[in-house]
Amino acid sequence: MNRPVVHDFKLRPPMPHHRLVHRPRLLRRLDTATGTLVVLSAPAGYGKTALLADWSRDLLARGDCAWLSLDAHDNRPDRLWGGILRALRQARPDLRLPEGTDGWTVDLWVEEMLPALLAALPGDRPLTLILDGAENVTDDEAAGSLGDFLVRLPAGLRVVLSTRYRPGAPVPALRVQGAVAEFDQMDLRFSREEAAALLADGLGASLPPDRVEELHAVTEGWAAGLCLTGRTLAGQGGEALPLLAPAGRVVADYLTTEVLDPLTAEQRRFLARSSVLDVLDVGACEAVTGNDHAGLLLRELARKVQFLVPVGAGRETYRLHGALRSVLTTFLSAEQPAGPAELHRTAARWYAGQGRTESAILQSALGGDIASATTTVLDRWEEPVATGRAADVARWLRILPSRTVSSDPRLCVVAAMAALSCGDLEEAQRRLDIVQGPARGADAFGPATTVIDAATVARAVAGCLRGDIQAADRLPDVGDPRDARELPTMWRALARVACGTALLWQGAYEEADHRLSEAVRDAYAAEHTLVLVRALGARAVCAALDGRQADARQLSEEAVRIAEAEGLSRHFVAALGHVCRGRLLIRSDALDEAEHSLMCAEEALAATTAAGGEPHARTLCQLSRAMLEDARRDADAARAAVRAAVDTAARCESPGVLGDLLIRAETRCSRTRPASGHVDAPAVRELSPTERRVLRALCGPLTLKEIASELYVSHNTVKTQVRAIFQKLDAHSRSSAIVQARERGLL
């Protein structure tokens, strides 16, 4: 057998680009790598060869490094070892290496060549052998002989493998021994700073920072993508959009020749049909490809095509790099014009059957089947909203065209309920405003419900969260929302919790507790966790304000326990349970625990604060904070909390039962005012008889509109007189005006 010829150009790294971008962070890692085997494993175009060429320059100059560029010609054991021996001789001419590989056999390798090679290496000083392009060694005997060598490396010899494939044997076994230092595509991808340097210094592409940032995100730090697209953008002034479009042809050509052409026809077809998926896993790939061996193909392709990026910690779950996915999608569309849409619909059906709702909606939308996507949303929205995962539903709705959502009253109600669950009252109201008129409200909305019924309950819930405690009373007749026998269980639970909460703030404790207990029962039946936690917390507050402390303690503990168990402790529905628990702990002198409960309540209410929601609950929380500070003997902090409560209560249509609590709190704070801080009250300007009548009416639960009706004057007249009363009494809220009037004997 003739001795294999090894060309000199394979024994040295390719000439570096005159504007090579140095990557110090990776060069340092290579310098400090302690394993006897170093593996660089990444797809084509990630800069493996350029990095090793830069790193090995000084080693090659000192004769401490041997380089061999492997190609398909080396995929035979005699040729592989002919090249390796030639590279080692060039680096260390003094080594007594085996003569050659003529007549190579497994026995000759095991009995003569390998022992002689190991005995000769590494000589009198450390030596590094770099094998670039190791993915070309696929022959069983060639790969096996290389593996034999790697597991027996003598001290002082380090081997560096650069490969496009994920390495197989013997690398997994050497990992266990701690003998391998590895660099994968996540390590080798360019950082934002390196991408900017490559574009500016390496390519001379002067792009603005935002374009560099966008290009880095699109290419995911892929060096070849940065180079190909950067050069095109530089030639066009960096203004072409979208980023990959101008370089689409050259990127596609590169990926086709370097990634897809080496694959079999079956593998290419499998990848193309799977490219419709956002995540590639065995089941979904089987569904869209019809291939019963999807698991085997995925494993093999993940090893060979590292543009399949692992997703999460799950096995055999990947996503396609955006650039390759774009090429595959184009290929699929050209091959089967009607194929992608049908594949998307097939994937949607499979995802729906697996309960993977978001993927099912996305695939239906991508397949142009908006009707199926809409049906999936309508069928699946209740459970995530009921359990505090309304953000999931919001994402589903964003997948649909915005016009589809706004033109469908059913989807508007779903969007409103999702927004209410998140505490976004403004978005909820915007959606509910669209659902107007009997024509739009006649559509069926689940079993035994119409859109108008659902929207009516949603408005009641929204009004309750805004602090409008008359909202439930103003509901049209939909089976009497305070009874709600005709509504399905979920909507009945929502209606009853809204009505019960409104009755609570009005001070109708007995009726409130009755409605709220019914809401608890319905919430359990409907598995509506948000309503359950909210109703239990409201019942606890109702019991506490009604003097039933034992019931309040039991209910608040249950509300907090369920909220914590379901991950809802910081959701606004848990606020009342936390507040009630905090008030009870203050009365028990457990101030540290009370502090924790009130902090939980404040965090829970934070989501609705910006939207002005839950003013009654926030007022009660602030009054409870004042109680805590008063128990700590911090009069200034207590007064500050009361002032905050007064300001919050001013946003309620009617403070209801909180009015008396505010009055008592302000009275208590005025009695504890330090003498040194005492300021004489300004002289009170005399109130007119009409203003006195309005002042007396302010002491009750009536709203300003209701006071106007009682006094037979207009609403604007009452508002004008209330402003005059506030000015004359130097007050800033309804409750503080009552306190000032009582202190001055006007009531």
In tens, the pLDDT along 87-118 reads 999 998 888 888 766 677 888 888 888 888 88
The answer to whether residues 437 and 533 belong to one domain is no
Q: How far is CA 309 from CA 33, 256, 270, 318, in A?
A: 25, 18, 16, 5
Name, of 344-358, 494-508, 688-702, the range with top average pLDDT: 344-358
Q: For 18-59, what is each residue's pLDDT tens digit?
A: 567 889 999 999 999 988 999 999 999 999 999 999 999 999
The answer to whether residues 503 and 609 belong to one domain is no
The answer to whether residues 115 and 53 belong to one domain is yes
CA-CA distance, 619 to 229, in Å (whole number)?
58
User: Tokens 């193309």 belong to which residue?
Assistant: 272
According to the model, what pLDDT value does residue 105 have? 82
Residue 484: give its domain's CATH number.
1.25.40
The answer to whether residues 181 and 198 belong to one domain is no
CA-CA distance, 310 to 321, in Å (whole number)?
10
According to the model, what pLDDT value does residue 126 have? 92
Least confident of 574-588, 637-651, 714-728: 714-728
In a domain, 338, yes or no: no
In a domain, 119, yes or no: yes
The answer to whether residues 535 and 562 belong to one domain is yes
Q: For 726-747, what is each residue's pLDDT tens digit?
A: 878 877 777 778 777 777 777 6
CA-CA distance, 708 to 712, in Å (whole number)?
6
In a domain, 266, yes or no: no
From first CA to last CA, the distance across the chain in angstroms is: 119
According to the model, what pLDDT value does residue 441 have? 53
Residue 719: give its domain's CATH number.
1.10.10.10
Name, of 71-75, 94-98, 479-483, the range with top average pLDDT: 71-75
> 517 - beta bridge partners?
none
**DSSP character at residue 68:** E
According to the model, what pLDDT value does residue 182 have? 94
Tokens of 395: 């994402």
Burial 508-519, CB ≥16 within 10 A → b, else e = bbeebbbbbbbb
The answer to whether residues 553 and 492 belong to one domain is no
In a domain, 568, yes or no: yes
The answer to whether residues 541 and 632 belong to one domain is yes
Residue ending a domain, choose from 493, 522, 551: 522
Confirm if 649 and 712 have CB atoms less than 8 A apart. no
CA-CA distance, 676 to 103, in Å (whole number)?
108
> Is the confidence at residue 125, as pLDDT, over 80?
yes
The one-letter amino acid code at 238 reads: G
CA-CA distance, 556 to 540, in Å (whole number)?
5
In a domain, 639, yes or no: yes
In a domain, 679, yes or no: no
The answer to whether residues 38 and 165 belong to one domain is yes
Q: For 672-690, what is each residue's pLDDT tens digit?
A: 555 444 444 444 457 777 7
According to the model, what pLDDT value does residue 675 have? 43
437 or 695: which leads in pLDDT? 695
Least confident of 116-130, 467-481, 578-592, 675-689: 675-689
In a domain, 67, yes or no: yes
227 or 149: which leads in pLDDT? 149
The answer to whether residues 127 and 161 belong to one domain is yes
Q: How confident is the model at residue 235 (pLDDT cuts 50, 70, 90)?
A: low
According to the model, what pLDDT value does residue 679 have? 40
The answer to whether residues 117 and 146 belong to one domain is yes
Residue ending a domain, choose from 638, 653, 673: 673
Confirm if 432 and 461 have CB atoms less than 8 A apart. no
Residue 553: give its domain's CATH number.
1.25.40.10
Domain that holds residue 733: 684-743
Least confident of 29-43, 612-626, 654-668: 654-668
Q: For 266-318, what is each residue's pLDDT tens digit?
A: 999 999 999 999 899 999 999 999 998 998 999 899 888 888 888 865 567 89
CA-CA distance, 297 to 287, in Å (whole number)?
14
According to the model, what pLDDT value does residue 521 have? 95
The answer to whether residues 480 and 612 belong to one domain is no
According to the model, what pLDDT value does residue 621 have? 93
Residue 176: give its domain's CATH number.
3.40.50.300
The answer to whether residues 41 and 98 belong to one domain is yes
In a domain, 46, yes or no: yes
CA-CA distance, 623 to 615, in Å (whole number)?
12
Name, of 325-334, 422-431, 701-710, the range with top average pLDDT: 422-431
Mean pLDDT for all residues in the chain: 85
CA-CA distance, 310 to 319, in Å (whole number)?
6
According to the model, what pLDDT value does residue 143 have? 93
Residue ending a domain, choose from 170, 188, 206: 188
401 or 248: which leads in pLDDT? 401
The one-letter amino acid code at 588 reads: S
Domain count, the chain: 5
How crowded is residue 306: how many other Cβ atoms within 10 Å of its Cβ? 24
